[in-house]
Amino acid sequence: MTGIYIHVPFCAKKCPYCDFYSVPYRKATAEAYVQAVIRNLKHYQNPDTVDSIYFGGGTPSLLSVKQISDILETCSTNFKLDSMTEITLEHNPTRTDRNYLYELRKAGVNRLSIGTQSFSDTQLKLLGRTHTAKQNLETVQNAFQAGFYHISCDLMLALPYQTEQVLTETLKILTSLPIQHVSAYLLQMEENTPFYTSPEILDNLPDDDTSADRYLQTVQMLEKAGFYQYEVSSFAKSGFESKHNLKYWYCQDYLGIGAGAHSCIKNRRFYVPKEIENFCQNPVQEEITISENACNSEEKLMLALRTSRGVPLSALQPEAQKKLAILIKNDYIKLKENNYIAMTPKGFAVSNAVTAMLI
């Protein structure tokens, strides 16, 4: 099974914490870009069935339904899709229009990933988001009424001024909605972003212990509401895990289309340069190889440790196995059935450190 990732690098406004490749939305540029995406999709041939298509960004919901439909029709013509193919589109809550959502569903999109981030207007303003908590609610409700029965919401953690009570209120609202998936991310300070040099942000960031507390609070409240943790940042009701995101952690094939998109096909990792003009003008998107030996045993171990399924005990080197007793004793790792090991929520909260001990 193969996944297709389509990068849509347009935003109405750049968020001050984001370092993903994006440019201001222009109608003519977006149309030229969509045509280039279609051209490149026609170039690639893959005998495997495509079981996931993911429109990420940027803000994919800036595209028209026709543009999205044209891309999906090209995927259907050039790849093997079936009725179970998961088709996800990242959606900005500033666009609450139920008719647009209905037309998206009609075009074939069957999973919506909504960038809610918080249900506190104060926190949303701090994040530079252009939507409100009310728009979050309207978007989710309208999406459900438009026929989306697989809805994911994004949640940002460890924000300045995000107290236990503020987060509790957001989680209460979030888990009351007709959603089936949550992606919860700790705020990262990325270079070359306004947040990275903002005194207000830097002076009010929570320390590591507080960040871990907010993360564990989220895990506990989501699990109580029926969302089980299947990856360090991903929570789902049973049967609603993201097929596409799991490809990254299980080293399955995925093809990235678009400026800045990454791919991993047959153990070869490559990416497309972050230049829209270059992408649109070239007859085929330029590929820059990162590795011809991706998904080796060490990389597979590192990625699989991000998941609740974990890894076989036998996959660890003898030196790493000696450290397990300490990690298990301190509740960072648990020993599962069939001699698998996996991180606990406490381990996920400091996953980089735990992974470093085992690799």
Domain with CATH 1.10.10 in the chain: 297-358
Coil/strand/helix, residue 145: helix
Location of structure tokens 């450190």: 353
Phi and psi of 260, rounded to 5°?
90, 0
pLDDT at residue number 20: 85
Strands 333-335 and 340-343: antiparallel
- Residue 172 pLDDT greater than 80, yes or no: yes
Q: Give the architecture-level CATH label for domain 297-358.
A: Orthogonal Bundle (1.10)
Please state the rounded mean pLDDT for residues 250-257.
94
Domain with CATH 3.20.20.70 in the chain: 2-248
Take residue 184 and report the two structure tokens written for it: 């919860």
Label each residue of 298-337 as H, E or C.
Answer: HHHHHHHCCECCCEEHHHCCHHHHHHHHHHHHCCCEEECH
Location of structure tokens 């999906």: 72
pLDDT in tens, 185-234: 999 999 989 999 999 999 999 999 999 999 999 999 999 999 999 999 99
- Residue 319 pLDDT greater than 90, yes or no: no
Take residue 60 and report the two structure tokens written for it: 């994919």
Coil/strand/helix, residue 201: helix
pLDDT in tens, 18-67: 988 889 999 999 999 999 999 999 998 777 899 999 999 999 999 999 99
Residue 339's CB is within 10 A of a number of other CB atoms, namely 9
Strands 151-157 and 111-117: parallel
Please state the rounded mean pLDDT for residues 58-77.
96
Please state the rounded mean pLDDT for residues 243-257.
95
Cα angle for residues 134, 120, 240 (degrees, 5° grid): 75
For residue 29, the cross-strand partners are: none
Please state, in angstroms and rounded to a whole number, the distance separating the CA atoms of residues 159 and 153: 17
Omega before 58 within 30 of 0, i.e. cis:
yes
Q: Give the architecture-level CATH label for domain 2-248.
A: Alpha-Beta Barrel (3.20)
Alpha helix locations (H) across 132-176?
133-145, 164-175
Please state, in angstroms and rounded to a whole number, the distance separating the CA atoms of residues 41 and 37: 6
Tell me how far CA of residue 319 lies from CA of 326, 341, 351, 352, in angstroms. 13, 15, 19, 18
Residue 167's CB is within 10 A of a number of other CB atoms, namely 24
What is the rounded (10 degree) CA torsion for 73, 90, 139, 236?
110
Residue 345's CB is within 10 A of a number of other CB atoms, namely 18
Q: Are 2 and 50 in contact (CB under 8 A)?
A: yes
What does DSSP assign to residue 67?
H
The answer to which of 120-124, 169-173, 188-192, 233-237 has the lowest mean pLDDT is 188-192
Label each residue of 73-123 as H, E or C.
Answer: HHHHHHCECCCCCEEEEEECCCCCCHHHHHHHHHHCCCEEEEEEECCCHHH
Percent of the chain topping pLDDT 70: 100
